[in-house]
A = this chain, B = another copy of it.
Amino acid sequence: MKPSRRSFLTGAAAAGVGSVAATVAKGQTAPDPAITELQDWQVYLGDGVDAAPYGMPSKHESHVVRRTVEWLTADNVSSINFTPLHELDGIITPNGVCFERHHGGAAEIDPAEHRLMINGLVDKELVFTMEDLMRFPRENHVYFLECAANTGMEWAGAQLNGCQFTHGMIHNVMYTGIPLKLLLAEAGLKTNAKWILPEGADASAMTRSIPIEKALDDCLVAFKMNGEALRTEQGYPVRLVVPGWEGNMWVKWLRRIEVGDEPWHHREETSKYTDLLEDGTARRFTWEMDAKSVITNPSPQAPLTHGPGYTVLTGVAWSGRGTIPRVDVTLDGGKNWHQARMSGPSLNKSMHRFYFEFEWDGKPLLLQSRAHDSTGYVQPTKNQLREWRGENSIYHNNGIQTWYVNEKGEAENVEIS
């Protein structure tokens, strides 16, 4: 019940109850037609591949798609699509299923006609073509992008039945881009330059105020994700990357960066992306994403289908402040916590993958995960968040998520006190 990888196998053998394979494999005494009879794919040549130059997933994976919550937005041009976290593994989100949110539709931009302007408190206002940008030094980093509203609908209690919907406003890809500080240095910052305002070229003309310290730290002007060009809905041909900070600031279809001496107090940092507290004041400029985690399997969209026995629990964790050295998992709603096994690169401000292998006894489970980040911060409970911020909030819900798994292995979104 508390296996290390070693005990996962030797424990089973020692117990004499059979190993994973012995428990679940089809025995030689009852031949399995899937192996005793030749399959079509062993006998007949498969299709060639050159007819489909940009490859697509297998037809057997057609259920692995972004999904939307229909009641959430009024129209598909102000819509949102959630990453199918329960269908993924590792830490890379494939471009085809990356969460995306747009405020005026996905702008279809001809890169030859696109320009990026830097203006305001600079020595020299500049306009770059895409070809100009390709002549600046580039860097490569894997970063998570999480919407500040991710899990926001859960403030009021367990609402949505699946981690795709509760936690799917996130993706994690490798970006290639130009350090923003190089472009700002090219323009030359005036001494009173304290803020920047990136602006999108889409019809919503998205803008957010960002302090100059962040702009000069690790922001990127990115043009590739996971090796290839940004997708249209991710800001093609160029977007801002603001590592560890809320996704709304990562302005897509980036056309202009204004440099100023104070924030602009635009819609997306006043009416939206602020947290109304119990005393009537609002938290503002809460950019940094706190450490968070979620169990992706089992979960409501990914039940345990195999019955009692060894099973793999897995999930993802991330922090806007660094890495995730540790995730704890509980099977009983927090009575006992077990340290999960991390696997995959541990990169700054990137998603991390954790696993916990255990033998399921077939009884109900109350599953939770709790992330610890490299600053020592520990993911709080939802009730702790409510104590701190009241119940009016939408944004920045990084509370611990609970799944209830019944005897049939079906999972449900629940809250426990």
| Minimum distance in angstroms from A303 CB to a CB of chain B | 12
| 8 Å CB interface, A331-366 against B | 341, 343-345, 347, 353, 355, 357
Q: Which of A50-85 contact B (CB under 8 A)?
A: 50-51, 53-61, 64-68, 75-77, 79, 81
Known: A49-B100, A90-B174. A42 touches B203 (CB 8 A): yes
What 1/0 mask marks residues of chain A from 38 to 56 whose CB sits below 8 Å from any chain B CB?
A: 0101111111111101111
Q: Which of B98, B202, B226 contacts A90 (CB 8 A)?
A: B226
Q: How far does the alpha carbon of A77 sit from the alpha carbon of B50 in the complex, in Å? A: 9
A311→B91 CA distance, assembly (Å): 33
CB–CB B60/A228 < 8 A: no
Contact A66 B92 (CB under 8 A): no
A144 to chain B, nearest CB (A): 13
Indicate if A88 sits at the interface (CB-CB under 8 A). yes
**What B residues does A124 contact at CB under 8 A?**
21-22
B201/A39 in contact, CB under 8 A? yes
With a CB–CB cut-off of 8 A, which chain B residues contact A140?
89-91, 343-345, 353
Stretch from A109-117, A380-388, A392-400 at the B interface: A109-117
Closest CB in chain B relative to A20 CB, distance in Å: 5
The CA of A305 and the CA of B112, in the complex, are separated in Å by 13
Say which size band chain A's interface belongs to.
Answer: 35 or more
Query: Are A113 and B306 within 8 A (Cβ)?
Result: no
Contacts of A98 in B (CB 8 A): 55
- Is A126 an interface position by the 8 A CB rule? yes
Partner of A306, one of B5, B135, B314: B135
The 8 A CB mask of A311-338 against B (1 = contact, 0 = none) is: 1101000000000000000000000000
Q: At the interface, yes or no: A270 with Cβ under 8 Å from chain B? A: no
Q: Does A97 contact B (CB under 8 A)?
A: yes
Query: In angstroms, how far is the closest chain B Cβ from the Cβ of A236?
Result: 5
Q: Which residues of B contact A45 (CB under 8 A)?
A: 77, 104-105, 203
Also in contact, A202 and B42, with CB within 8 A (given A92-B226, A97-B54, A134-B312):
yes
Q: At the interface, yes or no: A108 with Cβ under 8 Å from chain B?
A: yes
Q: Chain B residues near A343 (CB, 8 Å)?
A: 138-140
Name the one of B94, B127, B128 contacting A226, with C-beta atoms under 8 angstroms: B94
Query: Which of A35, A46, A134, A176 is most buried by chain B, counting CB atoms within 10 A of its CB?
Result: A46
Report chain B residues within 8 Å CB of A203. 41-46
CA distance A199 to B230 in the complex (A): 38
Q: Name A104-150 residues within 8 Å CB distance of B.
A: 104-111, 113-115, 117, 124-129, 131-132, 134-142
Cβ B138 vs Cβ A312 within 8 A: yes
Q: Which of A26-34, A152-160, A239-247, A367-375 contacts B (4 or more CB under 8 A)?
A: A26-34
Q: Are A344 and B312 in contact (CB under 8 A)?
A: no
Residue pair B46, A106 in contact (C-beta under 8 Å):
yes
A269 to chain B, nearest CB (A): 21
Q: Does A87 contact B (CB under 8 A)?
A: yes
Docked CA distance A124–B64 (Å): 36
Task: Known A25-B128, A39-B113, A41-B201; judge A137-B355 contact (CB<8 A).
Answer: yes
- Pick from B20, B115, B228: contact of A186, CB below 8 A: B20
In the complex, the answer to whether B187 meets A131 with C-beta atoms within 8 Å is no
CB distance from A362 to the nearest CB of B (A): 14
Is A309 at the interface (CB under 8 A from chain B)?
Answer: yes
Cα–Cα distance between A186 and B310 once the two chains are bound (Å)? 13
Listed by A's residue number, 15 A-B pairs whose Cβ atoms lie within 8 Å are A9-B182, A21-B187, A34-B114, A34-B115, A39-B201, A42-B202, A44-B203, A55-B98, A57-B232, A58-B231, A59-B108, A89-B224, A89-B227, A94-B94, A96-B96
List 7 A-B pairs, minimum CB-CB distance, nearest first.
Answer: A46-B105, A48-B76, A140-B344, A53-B65, A41-B107, A89-B176, A90-B140
